[in-house]
């Protein structure tokens, strides 16, 4: 099914030059725009002294990168152009295809910004990440499953950091409320 879906997406590549140029740009350069937007949003948060959400984004990126590396080392799936005749529109070195590094980074930034910093910017970045993923398939360098795996890794990493951070904040809040008034003897009147 992964290859059939790949064929459906990559099959039209090379037929419409305008679409091909958009997809080539999205597959190659849009990731820089995603990083730039995430950096601006994070920088604005830092100026507002919102350190914890920015740290959450950073931890999410690190966790997603680690999970992606584990999956890449466990995978033997080669890139589509190594095993099939495809319409390859951008150059790429051969190697393991699963998961897509571009899609992992884009989806992780999108989900992290969405959960920790700015929902609107996160939604826009999620749309950009989806376009990057589609473009990587259109251009013949990834299977759809590589993009789906990247999105799942990004979602799991963001959710794990979010839930852990929320639990830590609730525990700290609970501990602070329990200690209020302790250590100071009350006078008995």
Calculate the CA 126 to chain-centre distance.
8
Cα dihedral 166, 172, 177, 181 in deg (nearest 10):
-170
**pLDDT band at residue 120 under the 50/70/90 scheme:** very high
Write the DSSP string, 90-128. S----SB-SSPHHHHHHHHHHHHIIIII-HHHHHHHHHH
Per-residue confidence at 185, pLDDT binned at 50, 70, 90?
low
pLDDT tens-digit series, residues 45-103: 999 999 999 999 999 999 999 999 999 999 999 999 999 999 999 999 999 999 999 99
What is the pLDDT, as a whole number, of residue 35? 98
* Alpha-carbon gap, residue 171 to 130, rounded angstroms: 36
Rg (CA), the chain: 22
Residue ranges of the domains in the chain?
Answer: 17-169
What is the CA 23 to chain-centroid distance, rounded? 19
């Amino acid at each position: 099914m992964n290859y059939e879906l790949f064929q459906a997406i990559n099959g039209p590549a090379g037929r419409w030059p305008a679409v091909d140029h958009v997809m080539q740009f999205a597959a190659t350069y849009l990731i820089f725009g995603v990083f730039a937007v995430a950096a601006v949003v994070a920088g604005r948060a830092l100026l507002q002294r919102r350190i914890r959400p920015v740290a959450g984004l950073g931890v999410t990126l690190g966790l997603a990168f680690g999970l992606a590396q584990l999956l890449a080392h466990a995978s033997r799936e080669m890139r589509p152009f190594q095993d099939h005749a495809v319409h390859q529109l951008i150059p790429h070195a051969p190697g393991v295809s699963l998961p897509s590094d571009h899609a992992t980074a884009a989806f992780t930034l999108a989900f992290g910004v969405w959960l920790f910093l700015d929902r609107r910017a996160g939604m826009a970045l999620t749309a950009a990440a989806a376009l990057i993923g589609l473009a990587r398939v259109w251009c013949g360098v990834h299977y759809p499953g590589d993009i789906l795996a990247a999105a799942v890794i990004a979602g799991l990493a963001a959710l794990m950091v979010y839930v852990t951070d929320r639990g830590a904040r609730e525990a700290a809040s609970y501990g602070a409320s329990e200690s209020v008034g302790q250590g100071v003897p009350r006078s008995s009147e």
